[in-house]
Structure 1
Amino acid sequence: MDRGSFIQHSVMLMGSLVFTRGPAQSHNTIPGVLGPVSLSSLGVTLIHEHTMVDFIGASETGVHRYHADAVVETVLPYLIALKKAGCATFVDCTPAYIGRDVTILKRLAQASGLNIITNTGYYGAAKEKYLPAHAYTETAEQLATRWVGEFRKGIDGTGIYPGFIKTGVDAGPLTPVCEKLLEAAALAHLQTGLTISAHTGNGEAALQELTILQKAGVSPDAFRWVHAQNEKDKQLHLQAARMGAWIEFDGINGSDPTGLQQHVDFVVSMKEHNLLNKVLISHDAGWYHVGEPDGGTFRSYTALFETFIPALKREGFTDRDIRQLLVDNPRKSLIIRVREL
C-alpha cells in the first residue's frame, strides 16, 4: 500500500469521514478562546503572531516555568495597542510543547477585546527539539486522533477549542517524523476541516508538504505556507499559489527596512501575477520568552499598520487590495470545511 492509500485507509478507520464539530460551533464560525467567533466578526486579522514561547524543549517545558500574571501584564499593553490600530482578530501560532497556554490566551482576549484563535498540532522544525517523545513512536493516525480530540473535546479540559492545525518543518527534504506530522495533519483536516499552518524552512519543503497533502486527498487550499519570505525564489511562491496554497509572508518588522522592502517586493510580485487572493501577511511578533528576565525583548504588533501598509500604498495598492490582504484572505483561509481534491 503506497503512502497516499495508507492515509486514505486511515481516514476511513478514523470515522468514515464523519465531520464532527466541537460544541456550539457551526459552519459560519471559528473557535476562539472565548467561544465561537462568526466569520463576519473576524475583521482585520493578523494570521501569524505569538504571545508567549518557551524554547527550552518539549521534555522540560510546562506551567511550572512561568507566572501567568507576569505574562499577561507584559503582553496585554501590546494587544491593546493592536486593537486600537484597527485589528479585530489575533491568530496565536504557538503550538503545544513550545509555550501554548490557552488559559493565558483567554485572559488576554477578555482584557484586550480581541478575538484570539489558538491551535492544535505539533512543531517539528528546529531539528525536532519541540516534539514530545510519543511523536516518534505513534503513527500518523494516532497523532491525528490526539489533535481531532482537542477539536471535539477541547484542550486539556479548558473548554477552549483550536481553530486550526499548526505544525512545522525545517528545510527540505523532510525528515521521516516531519513527513508523519504532515500525514497526521492531513488526517486531522479530513476529520475536522481545520486548515493547516506549517512553519516551512524553504520552497523545497513547501512543495514536499503539498505533495503529501495531495496524496492524502487534501486540497492545497487547506495549507498555509508559513514563513514563505524565507524562500527567496519568487517562482516557488507562484508555483505553490497556482496549486492553491496560501502564501504567508509573516516576518514584517518595522525596524528592518531591508526586510520590510523584501516583503513589499514579494507581495507586489504576487499581485503582478494575479495571485493577491492567495497572499497572507503578518509579523510573527510578540514572544514573551519564558526563562528570560521579564520575558526578554518583546516586539510589537503594529508595524504592519504603521509602515507596511503605507509602503504597499506607495506601490499603488488600493483600499480594496488592503482589505483583501487583511480581512478577506485571512477569513477565507481559516474557514472550517473539509477541502478535498
Structure 2
Amino acid sequence: MIDRRNLLLAAAASLGSAAFAQTAPPDVPAKRRVAGLPEPAETIDLWPNGAPGMPAKPLVETVDERSREDSLTDRAVYGITRPRLVVFRPRLPNGSAVLVTPGGGYKWVVIDKEGYEIGRWLAARGFTVFVLFYRLPGDGWQAGPDVALSDAQRAMRIIRARAQDYALLPERIAAMGFSAGGHLCADLSTRWAAKTYAPVDAADTLSARPDVSAPIYPVQSMRLPTAHPGSRELLIGKGASAALEDAHSPDHNVTAQTPPTFLVHAEDDPTVPVENSLLYRAALKKAGVPVETHLFTHGGHGFGLRRAMGKPAEAWPDLFLAWARTQGIG
C-alpha cells in the first residue's frame, strides 16, 4: 500500500524526471495549435519489442485533421502500428488513474473529442490519465478481433506496473471508453483475464481488470440490428456466426468479477442504439454487478464533452466523478 505522503513524494520526483524516449503522440505535422490547449508529449509504448502479429501488408500510421474550425482540433489516426499510451499528469495526483479508449468505429481512433479533451478534464481534477491508441481489428493483425483487447490488457498491466512512478494506487484504476472505444472498455471489463497474447515481461503477471468501468454510449452488442454495422464488420466480419457475435458481445461475457460500471447513453442516438447500454445493464444486474445508468433524452452520438455543452447530457462527467467517489476512485 502506498500512503498519501509517499504518493506526493513520488509525484514530485516523477514530475522532475525526463519522459521516456518513446514513440511521439499521433499528430498532423506542422498543424496549427489551438491557444490554451497544450499538446501532450509523454507517451509509453506498450510493446518493447514491437507489437506482436504484424500484418502481412505494411501499415503506415496516418493522422487526418477533420476540423474546419480554428478553435478546435478533430484528429483521427489510422494504421496504428506502435500502440501507445499518451499521458496526462495532474498537478496534484489524487492516486487514481483512468485508462481512456477513444472511439472511431474500429476504423480509426479519434484523438481529441474522446481522448485529449477528457484527458485534460480529468487531469485538472487530480486523475492521471492514459489515453490509449490501440491497434485496429480490420488492419490484418494476427490476433484478429482480440487485437484491441490485447492492447487494452497490456495497457492496464503497464499502468499497474508503473503505479509508483505516477503516484498511483494500483487498486484505483478506472477504464473509460467511448463508442467503439466503449466496446473495448466493456470487452476489457468482461474479458480482462482472457489470454490474448504471450507475456513479454513482469508487467504481464499483473491483473488487467479495471477497478471500475465507464463505457460511454458504447458499441456493445454484435448482433444486428442492435449492433453498429461498421464496428461489427471490422471486428468480426460481415458474415460472422451467432457464436462469434456472442463471443465479442460484452453482455454475453459478464461475470460476478466484472467491475462496477457507469453507463451513459442518449435515447436519440442514431448511430449506436441505446439498446446496447440497456442490454449490458441487464447483464450486469443479473450478475449482481453494481451499475449506475444515465440515459438522456437528447444528445445524439459522440457528444463527449464538446457536443454535450448546453444539453442535459453535459452533466455526465460530474455524475461520473460523484459515482466514482462512491467506489473509492478519485
Please say whether Structure 1 and Structure 2 have the same fold, judged by a TM-score greater than 0.5. no
Larger proportion of helix: 1
Q: TM-score, normalised by structure 2?
A: 0.39
Q: Which has the higher contact order (CA 8 A, sep 6+)?
A: 1
Q: TM-score, normalised by structure 1?
A: 0.38
